[in-house]
Amino acid sequence: MSGNGLSYSEQGGEAAPELGQEAATTTTPSIPAAFGLFCSDIKKNEDLKQMLESSKDSAKLDAMKRIVGMVAKGKNASELFPAVVKNVASKNIEIKKLVYVYLMRYAEEQQDLALLSISTFQRALKDPNQLIRASALRVLSSIRVPIIVPIMMLAIKEASSDLSPYVRKNAAHAIQKLYSLDPEQKEMLIEVIEKLLKDRSTLVAGSVVMAFEEVCPERIDLIHKNYRKLCNLLVDVEEWGQVVIIHMLTRYARTQFVSPWKVSFEKNFYESDEEQKEKDQKVKDTYTMDPDHRLLLQNTKPLLQSRNAAVVMAVSQLYWHLAPKSEAGIVSKSLVRLLRSNREVQYIVLQNIATMSIQRKGMFEPYLKSFYVRSTDPTMIKTLKLEILTNLANEANISTLLREFQTYVKSQDKQFAAATIQAIGRCATNITEVTDTCLNGLVCLLSNKDEIVVAESVVVIKKLLQTQPAHHGEIIKHMAKLLDNITVPVARASILWLIGEYCERVPKIAPDVLRKTAKSFTNEDDLVKLQILNLGAKLYLTNSKQTKLLTQYVLNLGKYDQSYDIRDRTRFIRQLIVPNEKSGALSKYAKKIFLAQKPAPLLESPFKDRDHFQLGTLSHTLNTQATGYLELSDWPEVAPDPSVRNVEIAESVPDSFGGFTCLLSSFFLICSDSEDTEKKKKGISKKITTSNSSDTESASSEESSSDSKSESDSKSDSEPGKSRYVILSVLGLQHSPTLVLYLTGHYPSLCWKRISSSLSLLQTARHFW
């Protein structure tokens, strides 16, 4: 091994100066300004090179640390590549690791030189230690050099049938890397994915599903056979894997099961038609949830208790998209819990709650107070909470909510205060009981000192009056008075529009307003100018006696305005309203055009249509489809054949261990809750551990740690009241005649006998080897 390493270092040494020159010549012209700086860089790198050449590990380590420091800062350290790559076979673990870090960063840029390191990894892939095999595969697959694709493919294939689940996990990761490097390998990779999906280890499950999602999400048929296994493993998969699996299973379930919502949906038609009722009754009777569908819901539920916000969110979206509507409510408690978390988590969770609360108010109504705003919340959180509060508002809670809103309106955060006014407007339109109260409240706000608050109130009042074309002459008069003080363009424009629209209700004030604004026309904002023209036109049509001259004056001003838009509008209005020989047939209809009944604006939540994106996804957050977003399909009308998910029971021996012969002895024993048996059990497991510790270190550690965990597993699997199976140990031994021991006991007494006999069997077996 050392001989090999030497030969590589020689090669590397030859290549080094060449490359150094090349790098220098190519980079210097492009940055002439930094030339001086660059020179000193070369010098510095020279001494780094020397350190790397040195025979002392400490010097090499120092050099590597400095190089990694450079990489971390984003400085270019690529010219050191040849010097660094020589150390890939270093005995010192830290040097080796740092070289790996460096390799993964620069191998893509220096492909030829990177090839020098490949054989080191190939050798390590055969190492007896699984961790070394795994890390070799990791680095090998992270070097993005197209030439080695066949080598990678081979390594992945081999690793996918490795004895160690950890190596197989890394193989699953490597699949994605190879796929992004060379998508043409897809077919071969799918084969590997198919094989790994069958794996029963919790370590592998998350990673292989991730690979599946990235390489072949459309091959949903690969999941069938593994569906139940994935559901059952889910609780024990690490948290990141859980998120990926849950998202994938959500997609899967939507293609395979019929909708559990149909029943409640069709209930709406009940009253109308008697026959329909009977038919629906039938539908209701015939719908029974597929047991596999139920299994998924049942096995994800405990994960709502996870400490990981992403897992909780994933389960919540699963329930939202898959569970019967009556059951989806259980997620709200957990989602509300997440609101105690960091601002970023709050932001995403609140967005999702906002979407949910539009469709199913009931889910979050009990938690109304959890969405009350604190003055210390960031503005984006405040507005989201406000959004949810508005969605949850109903006749019962509106009075408490309005009281709460009163506090918010006074907030120092003016952006938030403005949003609150919008919210009040929405409540007023949605709940007719409080429309007048809200309107009065908003009118009170018109005398507020803050301009933004007043402006927002004006805009909202405008919308409200439009939806309620009752007699609100008083309010319009009040607003006309305000016009002198308000400077915010939107607000001024809104007032002018209102006066114009309802000019017949305020016949005395309207011309006066036009007079005042005509005076200030030139100083107004474009938005306001347009509305002045609009007001003029409307008055001209309804009250031409008083306003004819004024309107013409305004139109003249508009004609010579700087803005295209205003000049255009002026021309357009003049042609329409002022009758002359050239004016076309349209001017007859001018009044109809200007004073037509306008549809009231809808005050809607911005989260209204977001639910067509799967909840919890990036696309949902951004409200646009992100790259790689996988659409959730609609429920099928008729469920596809459920028998595809059936698995033969004989498969319980993991066959993925491939060529290795393994002795797998699993002891299933029934134990009661009494401490007595517990002790016995522990004693036995200890015995086994000690007796085999020499064989494989990894196996023994795996075994000793697995016993307690699997204890909980088995408990969860067994039905309550029945006996519990405890898997005591799983031992992997190489070079042995194949000998598979299966001991399944159904009665304690029988079981103990079997255990003792198997122990002696094991001992004889050891002698035999």
* Residues in 13-72 that interact with other proteins by CB under 8 A: 57-58, 61, 65, 68-69, 71-72
Is residue 200 involved in binding other proteins (CB under 8 A)? no
The sign of the CA dihedral 188, 190, 193, 197 is negative
Interacting residue with other proteins among 182, 238, 290, 525 (CB under 8 A): 238
Neighbouring C-beta atoms of residue 258, cutoff 10 Å: 17
Quote the CA–CA distance of 470 and 465 in Å, as a whole number: 8
What mask, x for binding other proteins by CB under 8 A, covers residues 549 to 588?
Answer: ----------------------------------------
Label residue 295 exposed, middle or buried (CB < 10 Å: 0-12, 13-18, 19+). Answer: middle
Is residue 724 involved in binding other proteins (CB under 8 A)? no
396-425 positions binding other proteins, by CB under 8 A: 404, 407, 410-412, 415
Q: How many residues bind other proteins (CB under 8 A)?
A: 114
Quote the CA–CA distance of 550 and 402 in Å, as a whole number: 44
Is residue 194 involved in binding other proteins (CB under 8 A)? no
Q: Per CB under 8 A, which region of 250-258, 310-318, 514-522, 651-659 contacts other proteins? A: 310-318
Q: What one-letter code names the amino acid at 533?
A: L
To the nearest whole angstrom, how small is the minimum distance from the Cβ of residue 710 to other proteins? 7
What mask, x for binding other proteins by CB under 8 A, covers residues 350 to 369?
Answer: -------------------x
Is residue 340 involved in binding other proteins (CB under 8 A)? yes
Q: Per CB under 8 A, which region of 41-49, 226-234, 445-453, 454-462 contacts other proteins? A: 445-453
The nearer residue to other proteins, 164 or 256, going by C-beta atoms, is 164
Interacting residue with other proteins among 21, 544, 633, 705 (CB under 8 A): 705
Quote the CA–CA distance of 176 and 173 in Å, as a whole number: 6
Interacting residue with other proteins among 25, 286, 627, 643 (CB under 8 A): 627
Is residue 127 involved in binding other proteins (CB under 8 A)? no
586 touches 549 (CB < 8 A): no
To the nearest whole angstrom, how small is the minimum distance from the Cβ of residue 130 to other proteins? 7
To the nearest whole angstrom, how small is the minimum distance from the Cβ of residue 241 to other proteins? 9
Is residue 624 involved in binding other proteins (CB under 8 A)? yes
DSSP-based three-state secondary structure for 544? helix
41 touches 67 (CB < 8 A): no
Is residue 93 involved in binding other proteins (CB under 8 A)? yes
To the nearest whole angstrom, how small is the minimum distance from the Cβ of residue 725 to other proteins? 14
201-230 positions binding other proteins, by CB under 8 A: 202-203, 207, 210
Q: How far is CA 447 from CA 391, 450, 453, 476, 479, in A?
A: 28, 9, 9, 14, 10
Quote the CA–CA distance of 344 and 384 in Å, as a whole number: 12
Is residue 708 involved in binding other proteins (CB under 8 A)? yes
Q: Per CB under 8 A, which region of 43-51, 221-229, 468-476, 696-704 contacts other proteins? A: 696-704
Q: Per CB under 8 A, which region of 175-183, 188-196, 291-299, 597-605 contacts other proteins? A: 175-183
The nearer residue to other proteins, 556 or 701, going by C-beta atoms, is 701
The nearer residue to other proteins, 367 or 521, going by C-beta atoms, is 367
Q: Per CB under 8 A, which region of 25-33, 116-124, 218-226, 309-317 contacts other proteins? A: 309-317
CA 386 distance to own-chain centroid = 23
Is residue 177 involved in binding other proteins (CB under 8 A)? yes
In degrees rounded to 5, what are phi and psi of residue 479?
-70, -35
Interacting residue with other proteins among 29, 720, 721, 737 (CB under 8 A): 720
Quote the CA–CA distance of 238 and 42 in Å, as a whole number: 46
In degrees rounded to 5, what are phi and psi of residue 216?
-140, 60
The nearer residue to other proteins, 234 or 539, going by C-beta atoms, is 234
CA 75 distance to own-chain centroid = 32
Report the Cα–Cα distance between both ends of the chain, in Å, rounded: 31
Quote the CA–CA distance of 110 and 88 in Å, as a whole number: 15
The sign of the CA dihedral 425, 427, 432, 433 is negative
266-305 positions binding other proteins, by CB under 8 A: 302, 305
Q: How far is CA 542 from CA 297, 374, 535, 538, in A?
A: 66, 50, 11, 6
Is residue 9 involved in binding other proteins (CB under 8 A)? no
Structure tokens at 324: 């019967």
469-528 positions binding other proteins, by CB under 8 A: none
Q: Per CB under 8 A, which region of 566-574, 613-621, 739-747, 751-759 contacts other proteins? A: 613-621
96-115 positions binding other proteins, by CB under 8 A: 97-98, 100-101, 105, 108
570 touches 533 (CB < 8 A): yes
Is residue 449 involved in binding other proteins (CB under 8 A)? yes
Is residue 380 involved in binding other proteins (CB under 8 A)? yes
Quote the CA–CA distance of 528 and 489 in Å, as a whole number: 6
Is residue 666 involved in binding other proteins (CB under 8 A)? no
Quote the CA–CA distance of 206 and 197 in Å, as a whole number: 10
Quote the CA–CA distance of 352 and 388 in Å, as a whole number: 10
Is residue 747 involved in binding other proteins (CB under 8 A)? no
Structure tokens at 329: 């409510």
The nearer residue to other proteins, 399 or 763, going by C-beta atoms, is 399
Is residue 657 involved in binding other proteins (CB under 8 A)? no
The nearer residue to other proteins, 122 or 415, going by C-beta atoms, is 415
339 touches 350 (CB < 8 A): yes
Q: How far is CA 197 from CA 162, 178, 602, 690, in A?
A: 14, 18, 50, 34
In degrees rounded to 5, what are phi and psi of residue 668?
-105, 125
Is residue 695 involved in binding other proteins (CB under 8 A)? no
The nearer residue to other proteins, 457 or 551, going by C-beta atoms, is 457
Interacting residue with other proteins among 216, 235, 258, 647 (CB under 8 A): 235
Label residue 237 exposed, middle or buried (CB < 10 Å: 0-12, 13-18, 19+). Answer: buried
Structure tokens at 398: 């509106």
To the nearest whole angstrom, how small is the minimum distance from the Cβ of residue 328 to other proteins? 17
Structure tokens at 350: 């609140």
DSSP-based three-state secondary structure for 459? helix
Interacting residue with other proteins among 269, 372, 560, 747 (CB under 8 A): 372
- What single string gives the DSSP state of each residue in 711-750? HHHHHHHSPTTS--EEE------SS----EEEE--SSHHH
Is residue 732 involved in binding other proteins (CB under 8 A)? no
Q: Per CB under 8 A, which region of 90-98, 261-269, 418-426, 593-601 contacts other proteins? A: 90-98
